[in-house]
Structure 1
Amino acid sequence: MKILILGSGGREHAIGKKLLEDYHSIHLYFYPGNGGTSVIGKNIENHHTVLDLVFFAKRNAIDLTIVGSEIFLLEGIVDIFKNFGLEIIGPHYLAAQLEGNRIFAKSFMKKYGIRTPKYNIFYCYEKAINFLKKNTNSVAIKTNGIAGGKGVILVHNQNDAKKALKNIMIKKKFGESGNQIIIEDFLQGNEVSIISIFNGKNIIPFLSAQDYKKIEENEKGLNTGGMGAIAPNPYMTNSIWIDFKKNILEPTLEGLIIEKLTFFGFLYFGLMITYNKVYLLEYNTRIGDPEAQTLFPLMKSNFLNIIQSTFQNKDQKEIFIDWKKLCSCCVVLSSKGYPEKYEIGKIITGLNSLEEPFYIAGAKREQEKWITSGGRVINIVGIGNTHEEARRKAYDKVVKIKFDNLYFRQDIGL
């Protein structure tokens, strides 16, 4: 079987490793991939457009394409692949707007009574400034479009709010993604990531996870694509699961079906638990990163069988996913300066003797050496019977890796 995986991060390396673990005979192709994916499959080059990828898939008889990165989804790749008769897992273009257009997503939540923080939408910088002058509470300022996981800025005073608005709407730090913004009530609590698979009739949640988004310890500093994660999330109690299903998952499913936003793919719920209630902060329409790297080592079920069930399950019975009764902790090793300016081309040592599981994100192979090539470089995962054991094992592995300007958070899983 030939599978094409789209994306270049640790998530794509994790997807590939899990597929190979379940079926050794699979042939994997990645676009654009990274140094890690080149070890377990083949990185394809010079395919710069969606049509280039279509022709590659046709020529090479690709059986299934898995979309890792949201960038491809928002280019309408699923619609185009299906028009050419190619099997692909992911949302069609309109359904992908649940991630790519926050105003669209918020309107969907409001229409179907999905519990989410109160919010206001602004298309004008001056009106947003005037609103903030009258609002002395902490708020979350969000770009309407995608911004590589960095388009959410939490502000706690007027000066920081004005600076954030100026960066987004005037200086266009996030490009056109900041043409419209959402100012949302700030919720204090514990974040939860729930990745799920959607087969057009049912939403089947994965194990819960907790993502650490900020660059600095104690969740301070700039937003990143993710500096680490743990699973399962210790705050996701039975009562919270019940609340999530009743007030978020079930009305989401109802809305997807009514609005004809059904698809075969992944749906990510970004949640906040506060005052024993769970709120939906955002949807993603693909697997999260670094949650994927944290969850796949705990998945007992055959991942390819799960994916194929979404296509082949004629009567649409619910899919069952089996999980190991263990905990995992993922620590992201990054280049100092990420998520802003950072240097690449640094030689990495210790990688060849590192025990699994670990995943390459921003590194490549050159003349038998590993070299940094991105902001987030390596994802190191520890597995244990408890969160504490998983955390200890992860950090015991972290100290074996060395490269100039290495940075990582030391509080993942605390």
Structure 2
Amino acid sequence: MKVLIVGGGGREHAIVYKVAQSPKVEKIYCAPGNAGISELAECVPIGAMEFDRLADFAEEKKIDLTVVGMDDPLIGGIVDVFEARGLRVFGPRKNAAIIEGSKAFSKELMKKYGIPTAAYETFTDPDKALAYLETAKMPIVLKASGPALGKGVLICQNLEEAKAGVREIMVERHFGDSGNEMVIEEFLTGREVSVLSFVDGKTIRIMSSAQDHKRAKDGDQGLNTGGMGNFSPSPFYTDEVDKFCREHVYQKTVDAMAAEGRPFKGVIFFGLILTPDGPKVLEYNCRFGDPEAQVVLPRMKNDIIDVFNACIDGTLDQVKLEFIDDACVTVILASDGYPVKYEKGFPIRGLEKFKGKKGYYVFHSGTKFDADGNVVTNGGRVLGVTALGKTLQEARANAYAATEWIDFQNKYMRHDIGKSIDEA
């Protein structure tokens, strides 16, 4: 079969890698792809938001299955466009992708159906938001309601910071239209854990847990990013936590979306926080996380094509997800200055050292070929250096050792990815 992957980052590289393992697949295309993806798939110069051009391409090439990796096209309705043209596609329709597209919607959904989450208020008027803050307990969390590449969340320690945050989101529009509406949320304490799941509209299958590192600098300092590293499984996601979430979060979310007339088919990403009062949902995403996909998919035993098809066909109840016991760690190599300002176009050296190295992967996030055919940096997050190990500590040591194989000007990374596993 022929498969088209939509997107061009580390998440899509991990999906392409997993799809390439399926004996059912003879040809992979990726739009727009990147330099690393081009080793496994034919990259097509079509943007992820060019829905009609992508659908035309799928018809022309007789694509059997399209997999949408990115959030923006899902939220924008790419699945509806493909389905209207009779094309087989994996991902939620627009009316279901709202679970990520609007934090205000997802908070209301959790409130209505009794899914544990932080107390909150929503605002479309910055003056009313500022007035509310005068009586709110600090610290407090401000969230742009729309998608913001994982960066539209501000944790404010005092009233002055919170007021500045309202201006940043709603007045100065640092996150564009995503700040038309804002959620103000109580600040929760606890470890954060990411849990990915496959959903077919009624049945949910949970993947292995993972744990992200959002802040740009060591010790969880600096600005929020799209993610600076990840590990799987999370030792803090215990059997007790899993049991609670299966009873009070996972299936309840799937059932809630169906009850709202928005049946969800695709991947739901549950962003959890393990508070002293029990697990609560921080956020939903409507797709694989990035870099979560880079640590979860290398551990997955199943043929991912079978799982995609089961989600589309509503037969996920017949699938048993399986993962290897080995742990996995990803360390993001970024351009110094990310997520604010950084330079691009620097040659990347050492990529060939990963070839033939079992248990080691390098997933490309922001790369391209220059005029001479060399791989160069082309983004804030450049590469996800990933390694397996029998334990999380071993996987972490392997991943950091592999980061030394790669060199480029302005190379930057955190040095404490997975350090918290020693506390488990």
Paired residue for 2:422?
none
Paired residue for 1:265?
266
Residue 201 (structure 1) aligned with residue 202 (structure 2): yes
Q: Is this contact kept in 2: 1:361–1:379, CA < 8 A?
A: yes
Paired residue for 2:27?
27
Matched position secondary structure for 1:357: strand
Q: Is this contact kept in 2: 1:202–1:318, CA < 8 A?
A: no
Greater alpha carbon shift after TM alignment, 347-356 vs 30-39: 347-356
Cα distance in 1 for partners of 2:74, 2:203 equals 21
Q: Is this contact kept in 2: 1:344–1:372, CA < 8 A?
A: yes
Matched position secondary structure for 1:322: coil
Greater alpha carbon shift after TM alignment, 2-11 vs 346-355: 346-355
Greater alpha carbon shift after TM alignment, 43-52 vs 379-388: 43-52
The equivalences for 1:284-299 within 5 A come to 284-299=285-300
Aligned-pair CA distance for 1:24: 7.7
Out of 370, 379, 387, the position equivalent to 1:374 is: 379
Q: CA 1:46/1:66 → structure 2, altered by over 3 Å: closer, same or farther?
A: closer
Aligned-pair CA distance for 1:276: 5.5
Cα distance in 1 for partners of 2:238, 2:317 equals 26
Q: CA 1:239/1:276 → structure 2, altered by over 3 Å: closer, same or farther?
A: farther
1:331-353 Cα offsets, whole Å, 9 max, x none, are: 00000111111100011111111
Paired residue for 1:13?
13
Aligned-pair CA distance for 1:140: 1.1
Equivalent pairs, count: 413
* Paired residue type of 2:375: W
Paired residue for 1:359?
363
Cα distance in 1 for partners of 2:378, 2:147 equals 23
Residue 146 (structure 1) aligned with residue 144 (structure 2): no
Aligned-pair CA distance for 1:209: 0.5
Matched position secondary structure for 1:74: helix
Matched position secondary structure for 2:407: coil
Paired residue for 1:3?
3
Aligned-pair CA distance for 1:253: 2.2
Cα distance in 1 for partners of 2:192, 2:286 equals 18
The equivalences for 1:273-288 within 5 A come to 273-275=274-276, 277-288=278-289
1:358-413 Cα offsets, whole Å, 9 max, x none, are: 20110112324220011100001121111110100000000121111111000000
Q: Is this contact kept in 2: 1:36–1:363, CA < 8 A?
A: yes
Q: CA 1:107/1:136 → structure 2, altered by over 3 Å: closer, same or farther?
A: closer
* Paired residue type of 2:174: K
1:136-162 Cα offsets, whole Å, 9 max, x none, are: 411110001001111111111222212
Aligned-pair CA distance for 1:46: 4.5
Matched position secondary structure for 1:134: coil
Q: Is this contact kept in 1: 2:3–2:28, CA < 8 A?
A: yes
1:282-337 Cα offsets, whole Å, 9 max, x none, are: 111111100000111111111112112223455x5242111101111100000011
Cα distance in 1 for partners of 2:337, 2:133 equals 30
Aligned-pair CA distance for 1:255: 0.7
Q: Is this contact kept in 2: 1:6–1:68, CA < 8 A?
A: yes
Q: CA 1:358/1:24 → structure 2, altered by over 3 Å: closer, same or farther?
A: farther
Paired residue for 1:340?
340
Cα distance in 2 for partners of 1:302, 1:254 equals 26
Taking only the aligned residue pairs, the percentage that are identical comes to 38
Cα distance in 1 for partners of 2:46, 2:79 equals 20
Paired residue for 1:88?
89
Q: CA 1:146/1:348 → structure 2, altered by over 3 Å: closer, same or farther?
A: same
* Paired residue type of 1:391: R
Matched position secondary structure for 2:76: coil
1:39-58 Cα offsets, whole Å, 9 max, x none, are: 21111124662111111111
Matched position secondary structure for 2:343: coil
Cα distance in 1 for partners of 2:212, 2:319 equals 25
1:57-91 Cα offsets, whole Å, 9 max, x none, are: 11110110101001101221111100100000111
Out of 400, 403, 407, the position equivalent to 1:398 is: 403
Greater alpha carbon shift after TM alignment, 242-251 vs 80-89: 242-251
Matched position secondary structure for 2:309: helix
Paired residue for 1:323?
323
Cα distance in 2 for partners of 1:243, 1:309 equals 26
Cα distance in 1 for partners of 2:317, 2:25 equals 28
Q: CA 1:155/1:318 → structure 2, altered by over 3 Å: closer, same or farther?
A: farther
The equivalences for 1:153-164 within 5 A come to 153-164=154-165
Cα distance in 2 for partners of 1:276, 1:396 equals 38
Matched position secondary structure for 1:289: coil
Cα distance in 1 for partners of 2:278, 2:206 equals 18
Cα distance in 1 for partners of 2:182, 2:259 equals 27
Aligned-pair CA distance for 1:263: 3.4
- Deviation above 6 Å: which 4+ runs of structure 1? none
Q: CA 1:378/1:140 → structure 2, altered by over 3 Å: closer, same or farther?
A: same
Aligned-pair CA distance for 1:9: 0.4
Cα distance in 1 for partners of 2:240, 2:46 equals 50
* Paired residue type of 2:388: I
1:154-179 Cα offsets, whole Å, 9 max, x none, are: 11122221222111111110111111
* Paired residue type of 1:339: P
What is the TM-score of this pair, normalised by structure 2? 0.94
Paired residue for 1:254?
255
Aligned-pair CA distance for 1:260: 2.2
Cα distance in 2 for partners of 1:344, 1:176 equals 27
* CA-based RMSD: 1.4
Matched position secondary structure for 2:338: coil
Q: CA 1:311/1:168 → structure 2, altered by over 3 Å: closer, same or farther?
A: closer
Cα distance in 2 for partners of 1:279, 1:317 equals 26
Cα distance in 1 for partners of 2:209, 2:46 equals 37
Q: CA 1:232/1:65 → structure 2, altered by over 3 Å: closer, same or farther?
A: same
* Paired residue type of 2:302: S
